[in-house]
Chains A and B, each alone.
Chain A
Amino acid sequence: MSAPTKPLIPLAGLPRNELGLTVRDYEGAMSTLCAGCGHDSVTAAISQTFFELSTPPHTIAKLSGIGCSSKTPTYFVRGAHGFNSAHGRMATIATGANAANRELTYIGISGDGDSLSIGIGHLSHLIRRNVDMVYVLENNGVYGLTKGQFSASADIGSRSKRGVSNDIAPIDPIMLGLTMGATFLARSFSGDKAQLVPLLKAAIAHKGTALLDVISPCVTFNDHEGSTKSYRFTREHEVKEIATDFVPWQQEISMPHHKDDAREVTLHDGSVVRFRSVPDGYDPHDRQGVEEYIRQRHARGEIATGLLYVNESPQDVHEMNHTPEVALSKLPFSRLCPGAGALARLQDDLR
Chain B
Amino acid sequence: MEPTNDRDPQYFHRVVDCQWACPAHTDVPGYIRLIAQGRIDEAYLLNRESNVFPGILGRVCDRPCEPACRRTRVDGEPVAICRLKRVASDLKGDIAAALPHAPAAMNGKRVALIGAGPASLTVANDLIPLGYDVTILEKYHTAGGLMRVNIPEFRLPAEVLDAETQVIIDMGAVVHYGAPVESMRELLTQDYDAVFVGVGAPKGKELELPGRHDDASGHIHIGIEWLKSVAFGHVDSVGERVLIIGVGNTAMDCCRTSMRLGGRDVKVMARRPREYFKASPWELDDAEEENIEIVVNHSPTRFVIEDGVLVGMAFDVVEWDEGARHATVLKSVILPCDDVILAIGQENAFEWIERDLGIDFGQWETPVLDEVTLQSTLPNVFFGGDAAFGPKNIIWAVAHAHRAAISMHNYCQGRPVDERAPLTMTLESQKMGMTEWSYHNEYNPSTRQQMNHVALSARFAAIDLEVELGFDAAQTAHEVQRCLNCDVQTAFEAPLCIECDACIDICPVRCLTITDNGEEGDLRQRLSAPATNLDQAIWVSAPLPQTGRVMVKDENVCVHCGLCAQRCPTAAWDMAKFELDIPYAANFDILGQTLRRATDVLTRSGR
* Cβ–Cβ contact B435 & A40, under 8 A: no
Beta-carbon contacts under 8 Å, B515-548 to A: 529, 546-547
Tell me which residues across on chain A come within 8 A of B500, comparing CB atoms. Answer: 36-38, 41, 190-191, 217, 219, 231
Instruction: Select one of A8, A11, A35, A220 contacting B566, CB under 8 A.
Output: A35
Instruction: Select one of B442, B504, B529, B567 contacting A7, CB under 8 A.
Output: B442
| Shortest beta-carbon distance from A231 to chain B in Å | 5
* Cβ–Cβ contact A34 & B501, under 8 A: no
Tell me which residues across on chain A come within 8 A of B505, comparing CB atoms. Answer: 40-41, 43-44
| Shortest beta-carbon distance from A46 to chain B in Å | 11
Tell me which residues across on chain B come within 8 A of A37, comparing CB atoms. Answer: 500, 502
B38 within 8 A of A: no
* Cβ–Cβ contact A9 & B498, under 8 A: no
* Cβ–Cβ contact A9 & B509, under 8 A: yes
Contact bitstring A1-19, B, C-beta under 8 A = 1, else 0: 1111111111110010000
Q: How far is the CA of A11 from the CA of B75 in the complex (A)?
A: 7
A193 within 8 A of B: yes
| Shortest beta-carbon distance from A149 to chain B in Å | 21
B395 within 8 A of A: no
A36-B498, A44-B501, A217-B500 known; A4+B563 contact, CB < 8 A:
yes
B506 within 8 A of A: yes
A223 within 8 A of B: yes
Q: Give the residue among B74, B445, B501, B559 with the most A Cβ atoms within 10 A.
A: B501
Q: How far is the CA of A40 from the CA of B563 in the complex (A)?
A: 14
Tell me which residues across on chain A come within 8 A of B568, comparing CB atoms. Answer: 35-36
Q: How far is the CA of A258 from the CA of B597 in the complex (A)?
A: 71
Q: How far is the CA of A7 from the CA of B506 in the complex (A)?
A: 10
Nearest residue, chain B, Cβ from A231: B498
Contact bitstring B554-565, A, C-beta under 8 A = 1, else 0: 000101010100
Q: How far is the CA of A35 from the CA of B443 in the complex (A)?
A: 20
Tell me which residues across on chain B come within 8 A of A2, comparing CB atoms. Answer: 435
A295 within 8 A of B: no
Q: Is the interface of B mostly helix, strand, loop or mixed?
A: loop
Q: How many chain A residues have a CB neighbour from B under 8 Å?
A: 32
Instruction: Select one of A9, A15, A38 contacting B508, CB under 8 A.
Output: A9
Q: How far is the CA of A129 from the CA of B403 in the complex (A)?
A: 80
A297 within 8 A of B: no
* Cβ–Cβ contact B559 & A9, under 8 A: yes
| Shortest beta-carbon distance from B271 to chain A in Å | 34
A58 within 8 A of B: no
User: What 20 additional pairs, Cβ within 8 angstroms, besides A40-B502, A40-B567?
Assistant: A1-B434, A3-B435, A4-B435, A4-B566, A7-B442, A7-B443, A8-B508, A12-B76, A35-B502, A35-B566, A35-B569, A36-B568, A36-B569, A40-B506, A44-B505, A190-B501, A191-B501, A219-B569, A232-B546, A235-B547
**Which A residues are within 8 Å of any B CB, using their own CB?**
1-12, 15, 34-38, 40-41, 43-44, 190-191, 193, 217, 219-220, 223, 231-232, 235
**Which B residues are within 8 Å of any A CB, using their own CB?**
74-76, 434-435, 442-443, 445, 498-502, 504-506, 508-509, 529, 546-547, 557, 559, 561, 563, 566-570
- For this complex, 10 residue pairs linking A to B, each with C-beta atoms less than 8 Å apart, are A2-B435, A4-B566, A6-B506, A6-B563, A7-B508, A9-B74, A11-B557, A35-B502, A35-B566, A41-B500
